[in-house]
Amino acid sequence: MHRRWLIVAFLAAWPTAAATLERLTTDELISRSTTIVRARVTSSHTAQHGPLVYTHFSIQVIECLKGQTPTPAEVVLPGGSFGALRQTFAGVPKLDPDTEYLLFLWKSPNGLNHIIGLTQGVFSVTKQADGELAAWRPAASESMLEARTGRLVPDRPVTIRLSELRRRVAALGPRGGVTE
């Protein structure tokens, strides 16, 4: 617990022009997600929630790999324009319409579906040469901290075959490691 507070204090002292993220492994993304979906973005709109603006992305779920298909089928990311208010946040991924993604999600207490680890929780889905689907993401440009040590570490690109991801989700059990 003491180490976690040191990390929080370190992050609070970090310059605000950039985001610093805890580097998450694929298994950590699986464990921390309440839902994992393969989905296509269909549309977006912005809304204000308290002092923050969020962009809401409607998604068409193609496959639910963990948890229940989100209802509404929507994902939110911080930032966007609402009236005269415009907010941007470092580390927030860009989602394009008509693009297929693998999304690692968690549902907040207010019912909004957020992406785990910001850019770390968004993978593009592509077909491999052998016809199998794989999910990939580039290395994040944001600073990364290793949770165990609190040290800055480089991020790396990640590619995983969907068959391997399904196996890993199943290995973590029906709740995929989520604890209440």
Domain boundaries, the chain: 2-171
Using pLDDT thresholds of 50, 70 and 90, give the confidence band for residue 178: very low
Which pLDDT tens digit goes with each residue over 61-85? Answer: 999 999 999 888 999 999 999 999 9
Q: Which CATH class is domain 2-171?
A: mainly beta
In three-state form (DSSP H/G/I as H, E/B as E, the rest C), the secondary structure along 63-111 is EEEECCCCCCCEEEEECEEECCEEECCCCCCCCCCCCEEEEEEEECCCC
- In this predicted structure, what is the pLDDT of residue 138? 94
pLDDT > 50? residue 132: yes
Which pLDDT tens digit goes with each residue over 30-42? Answer: 999 999 999 999 9
- In this predicted structure, what is the pLDDT of residue 144? 85
- In this predicted structure, what is the pLDDT of residue 20? 76
Which pLDDT tens digit goes with each residue over 149-175? Answer: 889 998 899 999 999 999 999 998 755
